[in-house]
Structure 1
């Protein structure tokens, strides 16, 4: 793996520990591998996905950030831009090539100025506003457009989403994860705390790049596994 990729991912992970993206939990799948992350998305309140907790894997290429990562959902997600196998199709993760057949402009695609934070925000935006004109799931796209055209009279699409969100929430609760259902809880970020477990979390990151010392208060008290999140702390009853 290139040192530039390790450096970029080290800095981005540090940033997400100290300033999480609301509505997301992020952790390394294996502590020794900075190139594969587990991402969990809380369904935004006041949307079809409210109460949902959707897991995905994010895999980074060896030449990141010059090439984009890929995202595959592990949870069932019925969406026009999610393939049946869970792969996410979104412009920001497509290489910046000129492909007239795609209907995308090069400026809409990946470039090295993008990062994990902008990707996560784009994913939330896509969940709420699918691109039904270039679908990965044609059936979901047709169903979504029928629902929009009917002005909410055809409820097949929202019923499937809500069913999936409820099932995902039930799985999260089995794992002891609090799923925010209000905007207040969804937007609240975990408070950083200093503890021995914090130091263990920071030492894990130092494995990748000795140039970056992660302050104890960059890691919350549930980050023994190198975890960052935009939910809220279970101990306070408000999040994971």
Structure 2
């Protein structure tokens, strides 16, 4: 088994501190990111708000991202804690998405190498931002060619092809089930595009926290993003017809 030395750990910690700082200063629409444990940079807690005008509108979904010690050279694992019915989410909550698969040549997978993990493939977003955007896009646009949940995939195709309502009804019930948890957590879930696309700057870490040091970062390393850029519009292909 390969051993990961102090250099790998220091490198991955610096990368994760940089990305967490970037996400705090420029949050991704539809997400709330925190650390599971303030002393552990490798485990993130993710709250996902369902995009308006989709099956998931009004939903509050919890997940975890677990990063390896050689990040960003190896991909993290993304697992939903909230029960999800989706073609690309396993029963245990693990997400099956190309961007989280190691960059190896595997013709049997049906995936192109360019679709797999590459920490440098997107110059606009950090790797973690790319993951978040990819996951929320996957929710609304499942990949049914290699499903993790075959039954959900079959049901989704029936909805897509004939507007059979079984798939959308299951999602609707799951969304309703998340409202109680949002209330317990004191979270107001956005339900309109205007609310969803508002970027809210997270509060800075406590002054006594040892997680963030300004000398770890250079301003040149942070990508500027368009404040008005929102990744969803009224004509999204996953919009449910009434």
User: Which bin holds the TM-score, normalised by the shorter protein?
Assistant: 0.7 to 0.9
Corresponding residue to 1:95 among 81, 96, 102 = 102
Return the match for 2:184 from 174, 178, 181: 174
Q: 1:158 to 1:11 in 2, by over 3 A?
A: same
CA contact (8 A) 1:68 1:93 kept: yes
CA–CA distance in structure 2, aligned partners of residues 37 and 103 of structure 1:
30
Residues 69-88 of structure 1: matches in 2 within 5 Å?
69-88=76-95
Give, in whole Å, the separation in 1 of the partners of 2:77 and 2:205: 30
Is contact 2:26-2:201 (8 Å) kept?
no
Q: Within the alignment, does 1:200 sit opposite 2:210 as a pair? A: no
Query: Residue 161 of structure 1: which of 146, 171, 176 is its match?
Result: 171
CA-CA distance at 1:171 after TM superposition? 1.4
Counterpart residue number, 2:149? 137
Runs of 4+ in structure 1 deviating by more than 6 angstroms, as ranges, are none
Where do 1:28-43 residues align within 5 Å? 28-43=35-50
Mapped contact 2:35–2:45 kept (Cα < 8 A):
yes
TM-score by length of 1: 0.82
8 A contact 1:61–1:67 mirrored in 2: yes
Contact (CA 8 Å) 2:36, 2:43: kept in 1 or not?
Answer: yes
Structure 1 residues 203-240: Cα deviation after superposition (integer angstroms, max 9, x where no partner) = 3422xx573379xxxxxxxxxxxxxxx9xxxxxxxxxx
> Aligned pair in 2 of structure 1 residues 14, 148: CA closer, same or farther (>3 Å)?
same
2:194 to 177, 184, 201: 184
Question: Where does structure 2 lack aligned partners over 5 or more consecutive residues?
Answer: 1-7, 122-126, 219-229, 231-242
**2: CA distance, partners of 1:122 / 1:202:** 34
C-alpha separation between the residues in 1 aligned to 2:178 and 2:216?
36
- Structure 1 window deviating more from structure 2 (161-170 vs 8-17): it is 161-170
TM-score normalized by the length of structure 2 = 0.81
Gaps in structure 1 of 5+ consecutive residues: 215-229, 231-240
Q: What value does the CA root-mean-square deviation take over the aligned residues?
A: 2.1
Give 1:170 shift. Answer: 2.2
The structure 1 residue matched to 2:31, chosen from 15, 24, 40, is 24
Q: Is the 8 A contact 1:31 1:204 kept in 2?
A: no
> How far apart are the structure 2 equivalents of 1:192 and 1:27?
10
The whole-number CA distance in structure 1 between the counterparts of 2:182 and 2:79 is: 18
Q: String of CA shifts for 1:72-99, please: whole Å, max 9, x gaps.
A: 1000110000000000000000001111
- Corresponding pairs, count: 208
Q: Which moved more, 1:84-93 or 1:107-116?
A: 107-116
